[in-house]
Amino acid sequence: MQVKPEDVAVTEVEFYSDGTRIAAELFLPPGLGVPAPAVVVAHGFGGIKAFFVADIARAIAAAGFACVTFDYRGFGESDGPRNRLHPLEQVEDALAAAAYLRTRDEVDPERVGVYGTSFGGGIAIAAAALDPKMRAAVCAVGISDCGHWLRSLRRNWEWIEFQHLLEKDRRNRLLTGVSEVVEPEVIMVRDPESEKHEQYLRENWPDRAFQLDLASADAIMAFRSVDYAKRLGDKALLLVGVDEDGLTSYDYTVELYEAATGPKKLIELSGMTHHDIYQPQERDGLMAKVVEFLKEHVA
């Protein structure tokens, strides 16, 4: 039976990660053969499950998978301190999402994979490396080295000023325990396309609040998903990059591909920018390739 993405049933669920309640959504297609393979779908930098990952989860679920999307701790409908983005905590949340899927009667606990987009791509790779039962990971327009990434978004003088700002905040945290809260673009400098994307998010989710403390910048810069790619062993990895990415260089995708030692595949999409993969026509074409990979390595 061919299932359309719009026919996939979506249920609000929740689980706990390190004692913090995580709001999530479970995607189950009609006629799902059980126990079924399953996929965790992780969103990008400052995102929430209401964004484009819901469409990704629907597309994967329509192909015969159970899927879960979730808000990282401190974001969206999840509990946890706001204005904080620590990648290793987000990895824990992704691992908890996989553990939650394994509690479901619909899911085969031995057949679970993870998909991550943009910043979430690195989270997905780390989760797959750390979860002994995870079969495969998909990383779309991801980042291999977040310290290098934040440096690459700035001119030399801007990087120097940013380092001075962080050093001042480190001193203040040491003396007061408080980190300055800033707009996210103080940490992640947007390219013009990303600025348009952010404007779209503001118009469509006007109640969304997104700020970060400067302590998050230190945690972000320390995160290197390429180190986790080297630890995947024989787990399969699909990497997707675009050749006109002004936010996360295609070179990061290549670096991740070269670091992985197990079964791996690299897809380069020509004439596309970072956020084009969320547009329906481009997304549908990509999802067909992703589903093919997941059926081979997870299902």
pLDDT 10s digits, 101-113? 999 999 999 999 9
Mean of pLDDT values over 153-179: 99
What confidence tens digit (pLDDT) does each residue in 198-227 have?
898 888 888 888 999 999 999 999 999 999
- Indicate if the pLDDT at residue 5 is higher than 70: yes
Could you tell me the pLDDT band of residue 272, with boundaries at 50, 70 and 90? Answer: very high
Q: How far is CA 88 from CA 93, 130, 180, 220, 265, in A?
A: 9, 11, 21, 9, 25
Q: Which residue has the higher pLDDT, 174 or 193?
A: 174
User: What percent of the chain clears pLDDT 70, i.e. is strictly above it?
Assistant: 100
H-type alpha helices, the chain: 53-62, 87-103, 119-130, 146-152, 156-176, 192-204, 214-221, 225-229, 250-259, 280-297
Please indicate, yes or no, if residue 161 is contained in any of the structural domains. no
Mean pLDDT, rounded, for 245-261: 97
Q: Determine which of 8-17, 54-63, 198-207, 289-298 has the lowest per-residue pLDDT on average.
A: 198-207
pLDDT, residue 1, reads 63
Domain for residue 211, yes or no? no
pLDDT at residue 159, rounded to an integer: 99
pLDDT at 209: 80
Residue 37: pLDDT band by 50, 70, 90 thresholds? very high
User: Quick check: 291 pLDDT over 90?
Assistant: yes
Average pLDDT over residues 142-146: 99
Highest-pLDDT range among 25-39, 125-139, 206-220: 125-139
Whether residue 275 is contained in a domain is answered as yes
Mean pLDDT of all residues in 134-163: 98
Q: What is the pTM of this model?
A: 0.96
Domain count, the chain: 1
Q: pLDDT at position 65, please? A: 98
CATH code for the domain in which residue 65 is found? 3.40.50.1820
Expressed as residue numbers, the domain containing 43 is 5-145+223-297
Average pLDDT, the chain: 96
pLDDT, residue 205, reads 84
Rounded to whole angstroms, the Cα distance separating 123 from 125 reads 6
- pLDDT for residue 207: 80
User: Do 49 and 117 touch, CB atoms closer than 8 A?
Assistant: no
In a domain, 173, yes or no: no
Q: Is the pLDDT of residue 2 over 70?
A: yes
Residue 253 lies in a domain: yes
pLDDT at 196 over 80: yes
In a domain, 42, yes or no: yes
Residues in the chain: 299
Q: Which residues pair with 69 in a beta bridge?
A: 25, 41
Q: Is residue 62 part of a domain?
A: yes
Question: Is 30 domain-assigned?
Answer: yes
